[in-house]
Structure 1
Amino acid sequence: MRLLKFFWWSCVAVFCGLLLSLSGAYLYLSPGLPSVDSLRRIQLQIPLRIYSSDAKLIAEFGEMRRTPIRFADIPPNFIKALLSAEDDNFANHYGVDLSSLMRAATQLLKSGGQIQSGGSTITMQVAKNFFLTNERSFSRKINEILLALQIERELSKDEILELYVNKIYLGNRAYGIEAAAQVYYGKPMHDLSLGQMAMIAGLPKAPSRFNPLVNPQRSKERRDWILGRMYKLGKIDQGQYQTALAEPIDASYHVPTPEVQAPYIAEMARAEMVGRYGSEAYTEGFHVTTTVPSNLQEAANEAVRSGLISYDQRHGYRGPESRLPGMTREAWQAELAKQKTQNGIEPAFVTQVLKSGIMVLTRSGQEETVAWDSMKWARPFLNTNSLGPRPQKPDDVVQVGDLIRVLRQPDGNLAFSQIPAAQGALVSLDPKNGAIRALVGGFSFEQSNYNRATQAKRQPGSSFKPFIYSAALDKGYTAATLVNDAPIVFADDNLDQVWRPKNDTNTFLGPIRLREALYKSRNLVSIRLLQAIGIDYALDYVSRFGFNKQDLPRNLSMALGTANLAPVEIAGGWSTFANGGYKIQPYLIQSIHSRNGDPLYIANPPSAPGENDDQPATVVDPAALAENIPAPASTVPTPAVAERIVDARTTYILTSMLQDVIKRGTGRRALAMGRGDIAGKTGTTNESKDSWFSGFNADYMTTVWTGFDQPESLGSHEFGGTVALPIWMSYMSAALKDKPEHMLPEPPGLLTLRIDPVSGRAASPGTPNAYFEVFKNEDSPPPMNELDPGTSAPGSPLPADDAAPIDLF
């Protein structure tokens, strides 16, 4: 009896000691424990996602790949697999499983004090993952147990599981089971098979050790063990068990695949989001919708790629990127692995040279044929203006061991190619409000993420002339005003320099109407026109279009487009001509939504009023607009009317003049589009270092630039009409396909008169070769007999006195 009493009281003492120890530990540690209630408000890190205006994924940014999933959407078979692997008593315990803890304690004793396993339940893992570190210590374990008990008191089992499956790390930057399903199988969780679910359920224990991409055999062993546990616990029947066991380990690495190739758009949106939200842009799960429709962006991609390749092949083959003859197939394959595919142009090694073409080894390890017909363009490049002899057979072009480039054709065959040396940019806007509809910043983002559409400041050449003509039309000159297209010399006595501007053809046409001068792009007329209206007036006027006055040269060379401007600036300025005279600002982000779908920002740009508006909409004070400030959609005010900066009659007349550039001027190639509603202007700088075309109808304003990053000549026979215009045509033909012709209606205050082509004045009856011209009411020219000879008026010739030089510098 004494022995029994001793044993009894010893047990009581041990129990009381343990109770006192736990109580003391609780009293000591509990003040420092975080509030479990915060789990209800937890914000898991979710990457930034950028979408097109038609909801197609453009890009995803963020270190953690995560797509939270609700408990109701978790497949039941996955829950069974997870609990079988991690915590088969989850439904019955209260956060701590005593049997698991005892097993862990036994392992601890056997190992001489080394912690082997923690005996953790799923609830304890939630406590550790959200509140604690991975430190292996007794104090951390006690905190984990105390937190698990609190979590079980305050959260339901479903809530605990939902937190767990969305938080856990599962390898390859995948956080949460939905992200893991996408990374390993490229499909959502509910589409996985039982075997695939069991594989993912085996990852929490050791994401690297049981990773199916790194250790497929160990991953299979872990999966099969979990399936066996499920069968043993009665969670699946024998048929399901055997079927799942027979499944191969077919996991492969899947990254979020953009549905739209728009890397320059993605980078612009990312930079703007970081500017707004800082580092939280990458973790708060923002859903950004851009103004770019996927079909227009794809059309722009193809237009720039095809246009630059076409230009590049006109100037010959520059030779292989490297030459490695006599190497093994394995060595070639290793070298190919170092090369990047750029905008679809793949690296390949020449393995055989045949009469009918060549055989090449591609990065996929396959040998494929490149037909001779696709190589006939490859005359040797000598310099920008010279080519070698036309090749007669494949070995005139390549040798075995040459590292070349090939381009996959729509039919699957390969064509001989090379990466273009020249670059290009395209910007397309909605001229009514400045929404960017397509943007390409270079041939290949993989080659260079330098965005030439927004960052490259280049001289626009003659594509800048419409701004000077608009200034003149707003000052009283007309499309019929005669200007002398004749040689002119300007001297600067201080610098002892002489400037002799000339036309690109080095010819002179004498007195010529402004309309004709614009569509024939006569440089000397533009200079005389700027001289007549005055540089100060022109600078003030042109800066209205959104150009920084400091970027505009304060001399007559401005008339020839010597300012350094980015394509997006040119497109924004030209939009004023397309929208009837209103200033717009290009913008990219249409809306920003939170992870929960709540609107945080809705773009509300000042816009040109509708064509059928009798009165402008009520103008909202710009200070009241949510510019750059998050605002729910319900609070977005009525769009403000953009500022009018040009008379609508001026833009109408100028548009008709720019339409003549297409009909009979330097843009005649665009007649092939078969549309009567397009207007535009070419631009080519000295020595053809920059090639431009800007053009529009009432729906789209598009600017294209081409040139070399380090300015050099595109070639003596290359102009805006040969390099930039074909790209513009390709894009605009796709953008306007199946769309009716759309031109702004004629504004009031205009009249049409028959004009004498010799004098530029109203024609008398019977005047030979008289033509019709559009004028503002107040600027219509008088008849011949109402103006004395030698008098200058807006409708008459500008003075042609070249005796007085003007200082340019």
Structure 2
Amino acid sequence: MAGRRTIGFLIGLCLVASGCSLKPINLGKEEPLPLRTTVTSDDGRVLARLFKQNRTLVAYKEIPRTLIEAVLAAEDSRFFEHPGYDLEAIARAALSNLKEGEVVQGGSTITQQYVKNTFFRKPGRTFERKAREVRLAIEVERRYSKKEILERYLNTVYFGAGAYGVKAASQAFFGHGQKGLTLTESALLASVIKSPSFYDPRDHPGNARGRRDYVLDRMLELDVIGARRADKAQEMPLGVTSAPPRMPTREPFFVEAVRQEIYRDRRFGSAEQDRARAWWEGGLNIETTLDLRLQRLAESAVGRVLNQPGDPEAALVSIDPQTGEVVAMVGGRDWSASQVNLALGKAGGGSGRQPGSSFKPIVAAAAMEAGISLDTQYESGPANFLLDDGSTWSPGNYEGSDYGVLTVGEAMVKSVNGVYARLGLDLGAGQIATQAELMGVRSDLAAYPSIALGSEEVSVLDMASVYATLANYGTAIEPTTIKRVTLPGGEVIEPDQEVIPGTIAPGNAYLLTKVLEQVVQRGTGIGAAIGRPAAGKTGTTDDYGDAWFVGYTPQLVTAVWVGYPNGRVPMLNVHGIRVLGGTFPATIWRLFMTGAMQGVPVKEFRVPKSELVNVEIDPVTGLLAAPWCPGKMKTMLRQEAPTEYCPAPPPPSPVPLETPSAEPEEEDDKGKDDPKGSGEPSPAPSSSSSPTPSPEPSKKPGKNEDSKA
């Protein structure tokens, strides 16, 4: 079917092309002037105004010959020979598409690309549109000279990084105008036209280098450069500047997150170029979710804690768990210095970070969904585990601690690795990774056993999203930075958020939340207590390179990460202390949430009554308590609650009556029934309290990474 469509399309183009000379077509109006895009906070205050200020028109004579030759080699080597369409290129593309069984290659000339960029604002792939595109290309060739067409094309084509036209692109990637472009730089600019995102030299240097070298090979093949120049150019580095042009904005980290959301949404264009055009010149009115009061509180909390030269940086994301709306975001200290949003991880231009023990609630959720309750007991001490691949995994607790046998819930409070390592092996790494993805982790996760201890890299937004799922009783809502977008014509586009109910049963989410409340009340997260119901978890990697606190009230979820952005630098002496999740991250969380919750009614975490029941349980048997076996009240899943009472004690045996003898017999062996001859009971075993909870390490096979509290 695809083959017949391709052949029919090719024949139709030939017919259209052959008849175009008989029917002139009106070019109509060229592309209208770009419209300004405005980004506002949730209360209407302007965060950014974006418009076409990074395009500067240049004349053909101002464009270096090497750049023209590189673009022709990359995009249309027969440009000076065809009449606006190239049947040879179309046929070549059609054969390639037939071979692959899908559209993998196009046959558009530079003239056709110019027509698409200028006369077609909306994307499309219909035959009628393609036919009109060819006819318009022929008319453009009639109206303008080849040099004029090239000049117009090189002033309108999109190169990525918000740059349209060769001058803006040269400044964006190399920091200078187009007149000074070298052969290597020209080839790189020509290479990104095909796919500005995939061949972005900053985000994907390997892709960019491969495409650049291909363009140089094509130039050599077309005999526009010699072999020596080609070889020398291919040996050169990409040579791009460290950062793209600055974005004029009030809250740059947050606005960058908004931009990424627009760029991902195909409702603003099927191609990235179309979505970039909508962002920079589409006249969009973007109402965001940012609460500027909370944003100021977040920035203040970070600044109060990390305020000395050489301090690590912090990232913070705060989400409304009922809507998924991101209400505050701290992505770093200075956008202009790095243009990397640390809150977004790899998507923000940085790297993911290991969450350490803050990942444990995901493991517990996976366990509960698999029928393993929070009361299930495991050994907690260090151990050596032989894995399926023959390697040995040796996770340990903080400072080698061994707490004996602990429940899954108590091991969460104390943040004990030994329990979660064993639990993770019972579950399987794949099941844990799947649970994490369901609950909101969008970073790629590898299924190593050490995933149970938080060894896989995630973003701060990921972790805020996961805990928002817990706060929302198992319903995961994709986070968004956008409330609505109004187009110039008045059409309103609202976020298309993915909603996944039941990623964890509501009852399980509640029970896990109650354990995480204990973390804040008496566990490793006690430094995050805010005087109202709150739940959360600390996380620290074994090298002290990443420290986390992620927590929530019924109304708000906040994730805080502290670390150095350029790799995991051990934070062994910051303000005189080792940085753990319970130190700076918990303090930042507490300062922010205290202010954020001011004036907000105090709420307890709601009990999902349809799934939970309060019962009095005998701690010895796990059955219902009775007068002869008093117990403690406990909240349980209805289907897991016992229905039988603890067994009644047997009735006392009757005491036989002995006939008294005339004379009592003497015992020859005093103490016969007393091995010690004392007649005194052995002393009862002494009980000892558990040691104070402390953070603990995790280890990832092959990566030598552990987590602490």
TM-score normalized by structure 2?
A: 0.54
Output the CA distance in 1 between the equivalents of 2:623 and 2:564: 46
Deviation at residue 783 of structure 1 after TM alignment: 5.8
Partner of 1:527: 421
DSSP 3-state at the match of 1:659: helix
- Structure 1's 442 and 580: CA in aligned 2 closer, same or farther, altered over 3 A? same
Percent sequence identity over matched residues? 29
User: Is residue 704 from structure 1 mapped to residue 598 from structure 2 by the alignment?
Assistant: no
1:714 counterpart (567, 571, 577): 571
User: Is residue 52 from structure 1 mapped to residue 41 from structure 2 by the alignment?
Assistant: yes
1:645 counterpart (478, 503, 516): 503
Deviation at residue 44 of structure 1 after TM alignment: 4.7
Kindly indicate whether the alpha-carbon contact (under 8 Å) linking 2:442 and 2:462 is maintained by their aligned counterparts in 1. Answer: no
Q: Which AA in structure 2 matches 1:446? A: S
Kindly indicate whether the alpha-carbon contact (under 8 Å) linking 2:278 and 2:284 is maintained by their aligned counterparts in 1. Answer: no
- Structure 1's 539 and 274: CA in aligned 2 closer, same or farther, altered over 3 A? closer
Deviation at residue 548 of structure 1 after TM alignment: 5.7
Partner of 1:376: none
Output the CA distance in 2 between the equivalents of 1:493 and 1:602: 47
1:735 counterpart (567, 576, 596): 596
Output the CA distance in 2 between the equivalents of 1:568 and 1:578: 15
Deviation sequence 1:68-90 (CA, Å, 0-9, x none): xxxxxxxxxxxxxxxxxxxxxxx
DSSP 3-state at the match of 2:439: coil
Q: Which AA in structure 2 matches 1:699? A: Q
Deviation at residue 760 of structure 1 after TM alignment: 5.8
Unaligned runs of 5+ in 2: 1-23, 55-245, 269-274, 346-350, 649-699, 703-709
Unaligned runs of 5+ in 1: 1-30, 66-254, 314-417, 608-641, 787-806
- Structure 1's 516 and 463: CA in aligned 2 closer, same or farther, altered over 3 A? same
Kindly indicate whether the alpha-carbon contact (under 8 Å) linking 1:580 and 1:648 is maintained by their aligned counterparts in 2. Answer: yes
Output the CA distance in 1 between the equivalents of 2:585 and 2:423: 27
Kindly indicate whether the alpha-carbon contact (under 8 Å) linking 2:356 and 2:541 is maintained by their aligned counterparts in 1. Answer: yes
Kindly indicate whether the alpha-carbon contact (under 8 Å) linking 1:551 and 1:564 is maintained by their aligned counterparts in 2. Answer: yes
Partner of 1:674: 531
- Structure 1's 644 and 484: CA in aligned 2 closer, same or farther, altered over 3 A? same
Partner of 2:462: 569
- Structure 1's 494 and 682: CA in aligned 2 closer, same or farther, altered over 3 A? closer
Partner of 1:603: 495
Deviation at residue 590 of structure 1 after TM alignment: 1.6
- Structure 1's 533 and 771: CA in aligned 2 closer, same or farther, altered over 3 A? farther
Deviation at residue 447 of structure 1 after TM alignment: 2.2
Deviation at residue 256 of structure 1 after TM alignment: 12
- Structure 1's 545 and 763: CA in aligned 2 closer, same or farther, altered over 3 A? same
Output the CA distance in 2 between the equivalents of 1:470 and 1:541: 8
Kindly indicate whether the alpha-carbon contact (under 8 Å) linking 1:53 and 1:290 is maintained by their aligned counterparts in 2. Answer: yes
Q: Which AA in structure 1 matches 2:556? A: Y
- Structure 1's 492 and 647: CA in aligned 2 closer, same or farther, altered over 3 A? closer
DSSP 3-state at the match of 1:752: strand
Output the CA distance in 2 between the equivalents of 1:493 and 1:432: 41
Deviation sequence 1:512-546 (CA, Å, 0-9, x none): 23222111111111112223334444343333224
Deviation at residue 772 of structure 1 after TM alignment: 3.1
User: Is residue 308 from structure 1 mapped to residue 302 from structure 2 by the alignment?
Assistant: no
DSSP 3-state at the match of 1:483: strand
Deviation at residue 737 of structure 1 after TM alignment: 0.9
2:373 counterpart (475, 478, 481): 478
Output the CA distance in 2 between the equivalents of 1:696 and 1:663: 13
- After the TM superposition, which residues 386-465 of structure 1 pair with which residues of structure 2 at under 5 Å, given as runs? 418=309, 420-455=310-345, 456-465=351-360
Q: Which AA in structure 1 matches 2:277? A: S
Output the CA distance in 2 between the equivalents of 1:749 and 1:274: 41
Q: Which AA in structure 1 matches 2:524? A: T
Partner of 1:500: 394
Deviation sequence 1:310-331 (CA, Å, 0-9, x none): xxx4xxxxxxxxxxxxxxxxxx
- Structure 1's 582 and 292: CA in aligned 2 closer, same or farther, altered over 3 A? same
1:487 counterpart (382, 403, 410): 382
Kindly indicate whether the alpha-carbon contact (under 8 Å) linking 2:479 and 2:497 is maintained by their aligned counterparts in 1. Answer: no
Output the CA distance in 2 between the equivalents of 1:764 and 1:578: 35
User: Is residue 294 from structure 1 mapped to residue 188 from structure 2 by the alignment?
Assistant: no
DSSP 3-state at the match of 2:470: helix
Q: Which AA in structure 2 matches 1:506? A: G
1:279 counterpart (277, 280, 293): 277
- Structure 1's 540 and 271: CA in aligned 2 closer, same or farther, altered over 3 A? closer
Deviation at residue 582 of structure 1 after TM alignment: 0.7
- Structure 1's 483 and 491: CA in aligned 2 closer, same or farther, altered over 3 A? closer
Output the CA distance in 2 between the equivalents of 1:468 and 1:33: 64
Output the CA distance in 2 between the equivalents of 1:503 and 1:647: 30
User: Is residue 511 from structure 1 mapped to residue 511 from structure 2 by the alignment?
Assistant: no
2:253 counterpart (264, 268, 282): 264
CA-atom RMSD in angstroms? 3.4
Kindly indicate whether the alpha-carbon contact (under 8 Å) linking 1:262 and 1:297 is maintained by their aligned counterparts in 2. Answer: no
Partner of 1:348: none
Deviation at residue 300 of structure 1 after TM alignment: 1.5
Deviation at residue 493 of structure 1 after TM alignment: 9.1
Q: Which AA in structure 1 matches 2:331? A: G
Partner of 2:73: none
Kindly indicate whether the alpha-carbon contact (under 8 Å) linking 1:433 and 1:605 is maintained by their aligned counterparts in 2. Answer: no
Deviation at residue 295 of structure 1 after TM alignment: 1.0
User: Is residue 594 from structure 1 mapped to residue 487 from structure 2 by the alignment?
Assistant: yes
Relative contact order (alpha carbons < 8 A, sep ≥ 6): 1 or 2 greater? 2
Q: Which AA in structure 2 matches 1:739? A: V
- Structure 1's 256 and 474: CA in aligned 2 closer, same or farther, altered over 3 A? closer
Q: Which AA in structure 2 matches 1:266? A: V
Output the CA distance in 2 between the equivalents of 1:447 and 1:257: 14
DSSP 3-state at the match of 1:730: helix
Output the CA distance in 1 between the equivalents of 2:408 and 2:37: 52
- Structure 1's 767 and 530: CA in aligned 2 closer, same or farther, altered over 3 A? farther
Output the CA distance in 1 between the equivalents of 2:368 and 2:457: 24
Counting matched residue pairs gives 417
DSSP 3-state at the match of 2:583: helix
Deviation at residue 776 of structure 1 after TM alignment: 0.8
Kindly indicate whether the alpha-carbon contact (under 8 Å) linking 2:34 and 2:52 is maintained by their aligned counterparts in 1. Answer: no
Partner of 1:775: 636
Deviation at residue 670 of structure 1 after TM alignment: 2.3
Kindly indicate whether the alpha-carbon contact (under 8 Å) linking 1:751 and 1:776 is maintained by their aligned counterparts in 2. Answer: yes
Output the CA distance in 1 between the equivalents of 2:646 and 2:27: 93
- Structure 1's 521 and 267: CA in aligned 2 closer, same or farther, altered over 3 A? same
Partner of 2:192: none
Kindly indicate whether the alpha-carbon contact (under 8 Å) linking 2:438 and 2:503 is maintained by their aligned counterparts in 1. Answer: yes
Moved more, 525-534 or 459-468: 525-534
- Structure 1's 586 and 463: CA in aligned 2 closer, same or farther, altered over 3 A? same
Q: Which AA in structure 1 matches 2:377? A: L
Output the CA distance in 2 between the equivalents of 1:760 and 1:517: 20
Output the CA distance in 2 between the equivalents of 1:550 and 1:274: 20
Q: Which AA in structure 1 matches 2:541? A: T
User: Is residue 551 from structure 1 mapped to residue 452 from structure 2 by the alignment?
Assistant: no
Output the CA distance in 2 between the equivalents of 1:551 and 1:274: 23
Output the CA distance in 2 between the equivalents of 1:478 and 1:688: 31
TM-score normalized by structure 1?
A: 0.47
Output the CA distance in 1 between the equivalents of 2:510 and 2:418: 24
DSSP 3-state at the match of 1:525: helix
Deviation sequence 1:227-260 (CA, Å, 0-9, x none): xxxxxxxxxxxxxxxxxxxxxxxxxxxx9996xx
Output the CA distance in 2 between the equivalents of 1:760 and 1:425: 44
Deviation at residue 267 of structure 1 after TM alignment: 1.8
User: Is residue 654 from structure 1 mapped to residue 548 from structure 2 by the alignment?
Assistant: no
- Structure 1's 550 and 287: CA in aligned 2 closer, same or farther, altered over 3 A? closer
- Structure 1's 685 and 256: CA in aligned 2 closer, same or farther, altered over 3 A? closer
